[in-house]
Amino acid sequence: MSRSSSRILWMDERERTRRIAIKSNLLIPFMLLMVFLIGGSLFYVWSRIQVIQLGYEISNALKNERALTEENKKLRLKIATLKSYTRIEKLAVEELKMTKPKPDQVIVIR
């Protein structure tokens, strides 16, 4: 065997430590890059999930707003119906047996 071939098969201790140092010097930046890529991917997925969830919440809030607006319209119509003078006069005459006062029964206060 020649000296160069033995060198390839049997590395001296310095060569071995140098190769390990080179590997570790490349391993650390690669690991950091992988951590940043995985972290960035997880952050992206989390943010997309948050956007979708907020979209559902907005949709539910708008649906609730429409229902409350419709209920408000119905209640305003009911108030207007209950305040109607013709309804009040009809109730007074039919249920409470009231009559319109005669002109001499009316006292005007100033």
Query: Which pLDDT value is given to residue 91?
Result: 92
Element (H, E) at 48: helix 13-82
pLDDT tens column, 46-73: 999 999 999 999 999 999 999 999 999 9
Let me know: does 98 contact 92? Beta carbons within 8 Å: yes
> Would the pLDDT of 10 be above 70?
no
What confidence tier does 28 reach under pLDDT thresholds 50, 70, 90? confident
Whole-number CA gyration radius for the chain: 45
> Would the pLDDT of 21 be above 70?
no
| Alpha carbon distance 101, 91 (integer Å) | 16
Let me know: does 81 contact 87? Beta carbons within 8 Å: yes
Task: Compare 74 and 3 and report the one with higher pLDDT.
Answer: 74
Task: Please give the mean pLDDT across all residues of the chain.
Answer: 87
Residue 87's contacts (CB-CB under 8 Å, 6 or more residues apart) are 81
